[in-house]
């Protein structure tokens, strides 16, 4: 590891003990295609707050990490990587029901889990997303869609970290187009979103 990556690892470990850190971690364990050489440092924040903190540490140290969700849409080179990786998907994310048929979730949650959460709470609107193998963040990045549904139809707002600032995007500010968004065009890390759904019949 380079000095700056070592400092990043130490800083993150001190500030957020619940963040998982791995060194020389093969990316083939974190991509659906099972390819990718070792990352000097792989960081898995526990949720949106520590994700923001980890992004800040990387920025402060002028590191340019690769951000991944579930690694379902990535081809990673097989030789050792020279940069750290931040993975938002932890495997234990949950969502939160808000008033007015809305759902809030961190961007590391899988679409499958999110769709099931909506169904279990009597909400419709995310059925299209259940079979798409990524996270909420990965789906926002490319305005994922299927069966006539797309993220643009359900995304009310998203908290974002970019260039040292945190701000909230609402509606059209997401810049959704066909398989693209503000994230694919301008970068930034989606931290968590609120989705607007409708009352429905779980059956
Ligand atoms: C078998 C298969 C079926 C698929 N079916 C469909 C389909 O029916 N419809 C469809 O639209 N797509 C489909 N996809 C593509 C799918 O949309 C993507 O695989 C998925 O959305 C990527 O999510 P991910 O979390 O795995 O992202 P990753 O593959 O980990 O990352 C993809 C991109 O998203 C960015 N990203 C990830 N998280 C964030 C975040 N929090 N903030 C900002 N950027 C972020 C990454 O930096 C990267 O550039 C399919 C893919 C596969 C492999």
Angle between helices 3-15 and 48-60 (to 10 degrees): 150
Q: Give the residue, out of 34, 43, 76, 137, with the most ligand 1 atoms within 8 A of its beta carbon, to mutate for a pocket test.
A: 137
The pLDDT, as a whole number, for residue 110 is 98
Task: Reduce the DSSP state of residue 201 to 3 states and report it.
Answer: coil
Task: Reduce the DSSP state of residue 165 to 3 states and report it.
Answer: strand
Residues, the chain: 203
The pLDDT, as a whole number, for residue 1 is 66
Report CA(129)–ligand 1 centroid distance (Å): 11
In the block, which residue shows the tokens 């400092």?
7
Q: Would you identify the CATH topology of the domain 95-199? A: 3.30.465
Per-residue confidence band for 2, with pLDDT thresholds at 50, 70 and 90: confident
Domain locations along the chain: 3-87, 95-199
Give the N- to C-terminal CA distance of the chain in Å, as an integer. Answer: 52
Radius of gyration of the CA atoms of the chain, in A: 17
Q: Taking the domain 3-87, which CATH number applies? A: 3.30.43.10
The pLDDT, as a whole number, for residue 39 is 98
Considering the chain, what percentage of its residues have pLDDT values greater than 90? 98
Closest CA to 63 of 85, 46, 79: 85
Q: In this structure, what token pair is assigned to residue 136?
A: 């909420």
In the block, which residue shows the tokens 């380079």?
2
The pLDDT, as a whole number, for residue 34 is 97
Give the model confidence (pLDDT) of 85-127 as tens digits: 999 999 999 899 999 999 999 999 999 999 999 999 999 999 9
Mean pLDDT within 123-147 = 98
Q: Is the CB of 109 under 6 A from ligand 1?
A: no
Helices (H) then strands (E): counts for the chain: 5, 13
CB 158 within 8 A of CB 186: no
Mean pLDDT for the chain overall: 97
pTM: 0.97
């Amino acid at each position: 590891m380079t000095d700056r990556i070592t400092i990043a690892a130490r800083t993150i470990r001190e500030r957020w003990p619940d963040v998982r850190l791995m060194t020389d971690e093969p990316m083939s364990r974190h991509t659906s295609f099972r390819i990718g050489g070792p990352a000097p440092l792989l960081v898995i924040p526990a949720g949106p707050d520590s994700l923001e903190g980890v992004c800040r540490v990387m920025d402060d140290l002028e590191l340019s990490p690769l951000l991944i969700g579930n690694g379902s849409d990535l081809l990673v080179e097989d030789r050792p990587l020279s940069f750290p990786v931040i993975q938002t998907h932890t495997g234990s994310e949950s969502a939160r029901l808000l008033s007015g048929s809305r759902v809030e979730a961190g961007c590391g949650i899988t679409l499958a889990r999110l769709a099931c959460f909506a169904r279990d709470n009597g909400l419709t609107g995310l059925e299209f997303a259940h079979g798409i193998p990524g996270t909420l963040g990965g789906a926002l990045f490319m305005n994922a869609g299927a069966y006539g549904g797309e993220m643009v139809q359900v995304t009310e707002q998203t908290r974002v970290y970019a260039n040292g600032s945190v701000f909230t995007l609402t509606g059209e500010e997401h810049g959704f187009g066909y398989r693209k968004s503000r994230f694919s065009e301008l970068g930034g890390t989606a931290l968590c979103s609120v989705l607007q759904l409708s009352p429905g019949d779980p059956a």
